[in-house]
């Protein structure tokens, strides 16, 4: 997470289920709530990085700044987390100047931590109030001890679902389906989907994003081959599986104009894309961005 993204979060001045403001860094790290705060974020199931931000008053949202020498090194932070939390939680610690002579500190709790529940390994915190075996979870803007229901949900969602763009070339063209009156035009993309969970995941919605020089475009992923509408018949990813699936996305003749296709259906520049898929439990899975070549064929080019 870059500092511009952190600045935007600070200026929005809202604590959320993935942001916690603190006026100062923990005065005595070994007698602090740091283990509880870090573990609660890692157990929350967020699909994005979470942030502890130091130097912002958690009541007034005033930017008060911190002394950067109050922050531990990455090595010392990792060593302490390894000592008090099991399994280990990956973090990143850093600081930057946000206003003249005012510095912000932060700890990023990475969304790549996929092995909850993260438990307190030994008594720690002020007066050892954080006990060995405790499991904390972020609920809204509060860190709470996990309930049985929370633990059930953690185990249910344990393991990751990974999305990888398999194509180097995306084609937009008419597709012929059995019993169809006409041949509708779709873009199609091959995605490599890995489900590391112990139960099937049902994908019922998706988006593909195109990033061009001066604008971006979102288009819905509407179905899988052959003509299985995702809303009516979700894509089933079996437990502990990996496969490549062809998915169809909406694309229009006006898109061909806006993207800059020539009359032969070619672009003179590559395009950056990424995808997101939603499952029926409300989880969202993102691919990395990838540079691809696009080709358009057929009547969709009539405006070019």
Q: Output the CA angle 35-38-44, nearest 5 degrees.
A: 130
Token duo for residue 213 = 């020089």
For residue 36, the model assigns a pLDDT of 96
Query: By percentage, how much of the chain surpasses pLDDT 70?
Result: 96
| DSSP structure class, residue 264 | T
Q: Which of 191, 170, 223, 221 is nearest to 288 (CA)?
A: 191
Query: The tokens of 287 are what?
Result: 């691919």
- Report helix, strand or coil for 72: coil
Angle at 238 between CA 232 and CA 241, to 5 degrees: 135
pLDDT 10s digits, 133-157: 999 999 888 999 999 999 988 887 7
pLDDT at residue 180 in the model: 58
**Burial class of residue 23 (count of CB atoms within 10 Å of its CB; 0-12, 13-18, 19+):** middle
Please give the Cα distance from 260 to 270 (Å, whole number): 11
Residues 79-124 have pLDDT tens digits of 999 999 999 999 999 999 998 889 999 999 998 888 899 999 999 9
Beta pairing partners, 218: 209
Domains and CATH numbers, the chain: 3-156 (3.30.950), 161-301 (2.60.40)
- Residue whose C-alpha is closest to residue 33's, from 124, 122, 113, 109: 124
What is the pTM (predicted TM-score) of this model?
Answer: 0.62
Which string of DSSP letters, residue by residue, matches 212-264? -SS-EEEEEEEEETTTEETTTSPEEE-TTEEEEEEEEE---HHHHHHHT--TT
What is the distance between the alpha carbons of residues 25 and 76, in angstroms, rounded to a whole number?
Answer: 14
145-156 residues labelled b (16+ CB within 10 A) or e (exposed) = ebeeebeebbee
The count of residues in the chain is 304
pLDDT tens sequence across 192-240: 999 988 889 999 999 999 998 888 999 999 888 766 788 888 999 999 9
pLDDT of residue 230: 83
In sequence order, what DSSP letters do the residues of 178-192 get, joined into one string? TT-SS--EEEEEEEE
Give how far Cα 12 sits from Cα of 195, 216, 255, 293, Å.
35, 23, 34, 37
In the numeric block, which tokens belong to residue 207?
Answer: 């988006």
* Of 113, 93, 109, nearest in space to 36 by CA: 109
Q: Which residue matches tokens 């002394």? A: 67
């Amino acid at each position: 997470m870059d500092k511009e993204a952190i600045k935007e979060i600070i200026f929005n001045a809202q604590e959320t289920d993935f942001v916690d403001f603190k006026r100062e860094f923990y005065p005595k790290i070994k007698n602090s709530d740091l283990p509880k705060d870090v573990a609660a974020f890692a157990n929350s199931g967020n699909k994005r990085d979470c942030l502890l931000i130091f130097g912002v008053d958690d009541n007034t949202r005033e930017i008060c700044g911190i002394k950067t020498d109050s922050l531990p090194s990455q090595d010392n932070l990792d060593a302490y987390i390894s000592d008090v939390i099991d399994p280990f939680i990956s973090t990143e610690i850093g600081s930057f100047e946000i206003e003249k002579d005012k510095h912000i500190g932060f700890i990023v709790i990475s969304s790549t931590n996929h092995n909850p529940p993260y438990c307190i390994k030994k008594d720690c915190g002020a007066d050892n109030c954080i006990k060995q075996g405790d499991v904390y979870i972020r609920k809204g803007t509060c860190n709470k001890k996990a309930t049985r229901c929370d633990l059930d949900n953690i185990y249910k969602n344990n393991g990751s679902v990974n999305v990888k763009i398999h194509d180097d070339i995306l084609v937009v063209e008419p597709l012929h389906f059995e019993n169809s009156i006409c041949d509708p035009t779709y873009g199609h993309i091959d995605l490599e989907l890995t489900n590391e969970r112990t139960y099937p995941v049902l994908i019922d919605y998706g988006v593909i994003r195109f990033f061009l020089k001066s604008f971006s475009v979102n288009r819905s992923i509407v179905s899988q081959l052959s003509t299985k509408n995702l809303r009516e018949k979700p894509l089933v990813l079996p437990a502990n599986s990996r496969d490549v699936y062809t998915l169809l996305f909406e694309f229009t003749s006006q898109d061909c104009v806006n993207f800059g296709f020539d009359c032969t259906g070619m672009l003179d520049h590559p395009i950056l894309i990424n995808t997101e898929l939603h499952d029926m439990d409300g989880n969202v899975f993102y691919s990395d961005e990838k540079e691809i070549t696009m080709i358009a064929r057929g009547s969709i080019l009539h405006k070019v």
